[in-house]
Structure 1
Amino acid sequence: MTTHRPVPASLDNPLYYLENMDILVAWVTDHHSDLLTAQERDRLAAYAALNTGPRALLTRMVMRTGDLFRADKLRYPELPVPAADAFKVLVQDGWLDNAPELSLDDLFRLFTLAELRPVFGPWLQQQGHLKSLGKAQMRERLAETLSAPRPLRGWLADLGDEQAPAVVQLQDMALFDRIRLMFFGNLRQSWTDFVLVELGVQQFEPVALTPESRAFHQREDVDRYLQMHQCRERLDAGEPAAKVWQDVPAPLDNPWLASRRDRLLLELGRQAERQGDKKLALQVWSASQHREARLKQLRLLERMKQFEEAWAIACHWQTRELSDAEAQGLSRLLKRLAAKVGQPRPTPAPVPDIQTVTVTLTKPDTGSVEWAALQHLATEEAPVFYVENTLINALFGLLCWPVIFKAMPGAFFHPFHIGPADLLREDFVSRRQPDFDRCFALLERGGYRQQILETFEHKQGIANPFVVWPVLSAELLGLAMDCIPAAHLDALFRRLLHNLKEHRSGFPDLIRFIPEAGATEVRYEMIEVKGPGDRLQDHQIRWLHFFARQGIPANVCYVRWQDREAIA
């Protein structure tokens, strides 16, 4: 395996997409050769050996949706050879089939009504139908008798060769989908997410990718992923959940694939419930470890009036560490279930007060309510910054940079990741717990400041899912670490890690620093700004309750606009 780091193409090159595709194919061939069959390796070698023109045309076709194309619709002026010449090479080398069998649906998808009417209009008239039928009606009438697939000439026999354009079919889409999966680590991302992006605009953190850090350790891992992807596509197409359930892989040893299976079961349960198969929905949600599955299972048991079973599961689940949203949903459900099973209602945890202040300001002609509040609150002795979700996330991202970019199975698949692919997975933290513990120890010992500032200096501009570089400055970071106690940062970071999906947002809009305050005085304050008619959202309320419980200074500033007529 080579350690060469590929350099992305520049958009100044009209064939930049081909350069990027070449990078992708070479990367998979180099890093996942053992997961490919000899035939697949030979095919990718044949791709790399194609001349530029045919290889560029093939890349364009792979990037498009589907595998059937009209040759006359594929116009790419940047090709260094005529498209017809490139087509001949691709047909000759087996990349394209120039006489594929077309279903009626294929035909109607590829050709317009104006092109189809001269072919089928006379036949429709003979059958007693109007020649002027719309496309959908025409297809419906033809489907009654002309459903068998056939080559294009079989459909358009009455047209001359010059009138009937060629239709070609890609022959290796399964291979290209397989290497797309091995490169991205998912099939959600399309070719255009890499091939048509000017990757040189971003800087990426170098990650030491080794065979041990791969998510796919054996070919069967790729096969299982593709199997689960097909199950999800079948669900999306409306196939009965019970039929799809038969083809879901058994529980997997690969933790990364197991989490994908958990998400598949979450969706399969949703579909089963929609289709009225409540028993199956309960079964698959019970088998899923996805954080949303348990609450869905309990709510369905409640609707089915299986209160005792729901109560037992809920009480057991309550003993586990839950996210705020889970705890809130479980608390509401337990209150409802208690009366059904003859148990006392759980005593709700005390809710701390949220500090508020109201200010009346002159409404500015331009700018947001947050900027108006900032200008009102800021003084030379107590500067105010508009940071919203950026500051605390950035401090965390800078402190824990080495952990975020640690090469682990299922985290990084190629050199162009903004952050780890498993960032929002349930086991993101547990798999890195010792590494996070070492970072948090710096907060206790006092070495965190140096680590954050050195990372800020040395990693400037490199993509990080927690760091928005344009809003950061050495002054802001310095003030933050001067004024926010390490114990508060520790509490904030730990809650952030408890549920990254939920907790990366909801932070107050503004932060005010009071650097000259005494050591025992409050030296900062976070401020959520709400204009007239605006209200706090649930995730903001949860953060504010957390601040109150932890003794972190925060309040909500309600802004009222002063009546201009009263001023006059």
Structure 2
Amino acid sequence: MIDSRRGRHPLSQPVAASLDNPLYYLENFDTVVSWVAHLHGDLLTPQERELLVGLSSLGKAPRALLARLVMRSGSLFRLSRLKYPELGVTDAVNTLAAAGWVVTDPPLDFAGFCRLFTLAELRQALAGPLAAAGLSPVVTKKQLTEALAPRLPAAQPLRDWWPEAPDAVLALQHMALFERLRLMFFGNLRQGWSDFVLAELGIYRYEPVRLTAESRAFGSRAEVDAYLHLHGCREALDNGETPQAIWQLVTKDVAPNRWLESRRGRLLFELGRQAERGGDRELALMAWAMSGHREGRLRQLRLLERMGRLDEAWQLVREARRAPRNAAETEGLLRLEARLAKKLGQPVPVAPQPHQPKEYPLTLAQPAHGTVEAAVVKSWQDDAAPVFYVENTLFNSLFGLLCWPALFAPLPGAFFHPFQQGPADLFREDFVARRREQFDACLAQLADGRYRETIRQAWRDKQGVANPLVTWPVLSAELLELALACLPAEHLAAVFRRMLEDLKAHTSGLPDLVRFYPATRAYELVEVKGPGDRLQDHQRRWLAFFAGQGMPAAVCYVRWQEPGAS
């Protein structure tokens, strides 16, 4: 094994344990612990490293039980619910308790006590307090907790809550360490131990990417701490903590890491939304101003406008117009500027004329089931002009297949472990710049005709392998061949280059349907709008782009037949 602080040497990849092994979960658990200890050891404290050394010295059964506890929800457990006869639970618990990994008979607060036991058990255990509070014996759990919480002790052992309790309780210790290990292994807290199992079952297949000593999500302990801090803030906000309280925790800069700063920006954006809904407009303005979120500045400006702070909004919109963040912000700023100019007596900027796409009015019998898009496909389907519902999947999938080598380039900060659907930096601002040569090489094939075989080969070789841009269930062999035959290379090149300008924004908003004309190697893209629906801004931008590129695209406006009409 190599020192994690040395050069870019390839590492042996962690693999999922075979499910034929009864202790597969322990093997996966040990894999995460040893991988992090090896690759991220310099980000652990001496005390944490000592804990992991002690963990490795435990016997197999205690380690297996600890792994089971770590993978379960929460940190409090009833002994009777730990049904792992192959482990010898009693002895394993005693070993873990002696080593400090669990505490038996821990003090329980009232909320923890209530979570551990059923309503029937709580009614029995708390019969005296219920009667003293004048509550019915058939009280609901919500009524019970709300009425008794203020009357009962803060925390006490189980026997003090319920002397006749037919069970014992234990508390898992050092859960924060295991969360830190999981974060450093996966680079996020969305993924968990089940990803190993899903990979072994073949439900998910992942592209093998060469991992090196630089293949880790975090460069310092401060970055890990910052991620955990932001994650905790977001969980607290989502669980009902006030935006004002969270604001005090996120105003400081995080570690100097653009990825973490973007996470803080998303948190601040959501904090601003909740602050506005709660009536704290000043906090919303501050949060959006600080967030750097792609939508934050527009939210800030619109709120200033609603608050009547027009001069302030005017100055900010003029500044923003000089350096817009993206196409969506550009459009929003133009509209704001026009409205503010009228209110302030300023010259009204001349807005560009919006593109008017070709339209298809279509009247259909309203189906009992299914979407409006499916109804249009059924109405139009013809062997000479096959129609497919593709929305964002067709161009994204073709792009993902052609640019597979660029998307899965083993760059530092992109891949941390073998269970990633795609690069972690996919939607970061520097994603394309870091891979410019690879993307240019992939797209160069559109000029010399090699792209068709490259896409076909990737479709065959990579079938079912996770790629964030490829939607395998939609991309059938028939659709693929029709697309390669009917979509001109120059049109694909134009779409792909626009996608590369902003992968986050430009991989959505594409038309719902594609209609092919194989006899003439032609096609048409169609956005479907049902009754009362209208084009969204990002859809309008795509339609205007198609028009500028000479790509055939239209909007089909559907209305339903009146009942009884033939």
The TM-score with structure 2 as length reference comes to: 0.85
Shift, 1:201, TM fit: 2.9
Q: 2:127 aligns with which of 121, 125, 132?
A: 121
1:440-485 superposed Cα distances (whole Å, 9 cap, x missing partner): 3443455433433343343333221111234435664444334323
Q: Which aligned pairs between 1:447-526 and structure 2 lie closer than 5 A?
A: 447-472=450-475, 476-517=479-520, 523-526=522-525
Please give the alpha-carbon distance, in whole angstroms, between the structure 2 residues aligned to 1:361 and 1:274. Answer: 41
Shift of residue 326, structure 1, vs aligned partner: 2.7
CA contact (8 A) 1:10 1:200 kept: no
More divergent stretch after superposition (396-405 vs 324-333): 324-333
Classify 1:137/1:210 alpha carbon distance in 2 versus 1 (closer, same or farther; 3 Å). Answer: same
What is the aligned partner in structure 1 of residue 432 from structure 2? 429
Q: Which shifted more, 435-444 or 297-306?
A: 435-444
AA partner of residue 31 (structure 2): I
Partners of 2:413 and 2:424 within 8 A in 1: yes
Match status 1:202 vs 2:207 = no
Instruction: Quote the Cα distance in structure 2 between the aligned partners of 1:304 and 1:362.
Output: 47
In 2, Cα distance between the equivalents of 1:370 and 1:261?
38
- The correspondence of residues 132-171 of structure 1 with structure 2, limited to 5 A, is 132=137, 134=139, 135-140=141-146, 142-156=148-162, 158-159=163-164, 163-171=165-173
Letter of the 2:407 partner, please give it.
I
3-state DSSP class of the match of 1:245?
Answer: helix
Higher mean Cα deviation, 129-138 or 263-272?
129-138
* Cα shift readout 1:355-396 (whole Å, capped 9, x = no counterpart): 123567799999876567557656666554443332211111
Q: Which amino acid letter does the alignment assign opposite residue 60 of structure 1?
A: R
1:7-86 aligned at under 5 Å gives the runs 7-11=15-19, 15-76=23-84, 79-86=85-92
Please state if 1:174 is matched with 2:176: yes
CA distance 1:102–1:347, shift in 2 (3 Å): same
Deviation at 1:430, TM superposition (A): 4.1
**Correspondence for 1:544:** 543
Alignment of 1:280-299 (within 5 A): 280-299=283-302
Q: For residues 78-121 of structure 1, give each alpha carbon's deviation from its aligned partner in whole angstroms, at most 9, with x where no partner exists.
A: x5133323322322222110021211222222233433444443
Unaligned regions of 5+ residues in structure 1, if any? none
Shift of 1:143: 4.0
Q: Show the counterpart of 1:226.
A: 228
Moved more, 131-140 or 505-514: 131-140
* Structure-to-structure mapping, 1:191-270, within 5 angstroms: 191-194=193-196, 198=200, 200-248=202-250, 249-270=252-273
Instruction: Please say if residues 16 and 199 of structure 2, whose CA atoms lie closer than 8 Å, have aligned partners that are also in contact.
Output: no
Q: Identity, % of aligned pairs?
A: 54
How do residues 103-122 of structure 1 correspond to structure 2 at under 5 angstroms?
103-122=109-128
Deviation at 1:305, TM superposition (A): 1.9
Q: After superposing the two structures, state which structure 1 stretch, 293-302 or 339-348, moved more.
A: 339-348
* CA–CA separation in structure 2 for the residues paired with 1:342 and 1:489: 45
Shift of 1:418: 1.0
Which residue is equivalent to 1:555? 554
Distance in 1 separating the partners of 2:13 and 2:213: 16
Are the equivalent residues in 1 in contact too, given 2:482–2:518 (CA < 8 A)? Answer: yes
Aligned residues: 555
For 1:132, the aligned partner's letter is P
Is 1:356 equivalent to 2:355 in the alignment?
A: no
Once the 2 structures are TM-superposed, how far is the Cα of residue 62 of structure 1 from its aligned partner? 1.5
Query: SS at 2:555's partner residue?
Result: strand
CA deviation after TM superposition for structure 1 residue 561, in Å:
8.0
Provide the TM-score with structure 1 as the length reference. 0.85
Partner Cα distance (1:313, 1:338) in 2 = 13
Kindly state the Cα deviation for residue 151 of structure 1 after the two structures are TM-superposed. Answer: 2.0
Query: Which shows bigger deviation, 2-11 or 33-42?
Result: 2-11
For residues 6 and 510 of structure 1, the distance between their equivalents in structure 2, rounded to whole angstroms, comes to 41
For residues 416-448 of structure 1, the C-alpha deviation after alignment (integer angstroms, 9 at most, x for no partner) is 111122323444334434443443344345543
CA contact (8 A) 2:16 2:196 kept: no
2:324 and 2:485 map into 1 onto residues whose CA distance is 33
Asked if the contact 2:294/2:326 (under 8 Å) is kept, the reply is no
**Could you tell me whether the CA contact under 8 Å between 1:509 and 1:527 is conserved in 2?**
yes
Q: What is the Cα deviation at residue 147 of structure 1?
A: 2.6
What is the alpha-carbon distance in structure 2 between the residues aligned to residue 364 and residue 260 of structure 1?
43
* Aligned mates of 1:300, 1:362 — CA distance in 2: 43
Q: Which amino acid aligns with 1:83?
A: V
The code of the aligned residue for 2:231 comes to H
- Preserved CA contact (<8 Å) 2:48 2:177: yes
> Which amino acid is 1:234 matched to?
A
Residues 288-297 or 522-531, more deviating: 522-531
Cα 1:550/1:323, change in 2 over 3 Å: farther
Change (3 A) 1:128 1:464: closer
SS in 2 for 1:555: strand
Deviations 1:146-178 (CA, angstroms, capped at 9, x unpaired): 33322223333x42xxx4411110011010110
CA contact (8 A) 1:9 1:200 kept: no
CA distance in 1, matches of 2:510, 2:83: 49
In structure 2, relative to structure 1, the CA distance for the partners of 1:169 and 1:564 (3 Å cut) is closer
Asked whether the 8 Å contact 1:185–1:410 carries over to 2, the reply is no
1:487-530 CA distance string (max 9 Å, x none): 3112212333344344333333433334554xxxx832223455
- The alignment yields a C-alpha RMSD, in angstroms, of 3.5
- Tell me, yes or no, if the aligned pair for 2:17 and 2:196 is still in contact at 8 Å: no
Distance 1:152 1:378, change over 3 A: closer
> Within 1, Cα distance between the matches of 2:332 and 2:417?
38
Deviations 1:522-558 (A, max 9, x none): 8322234556x47454144443333223221122345
2:129–2:148 Cα contact (<8 Å) kept = no
Separation in 2, partners of 1:434, 1:283: 40
Cα 1:381–1:229 change in 2 (3 A) is closer
Following TM superposition, by how much is the alpha carbon of 1:312 offset from its aligned partner in structure 2, in angstroms? 1.9
CA contact (8 A) 1:256 1:410 kept: no
396, 403, 406: which one pairs with 2:399?
A: 396
Listed as ranges, the gaps of 5+ residues in structure 2 are 3-9
Match of 1:256, SS state, is helix
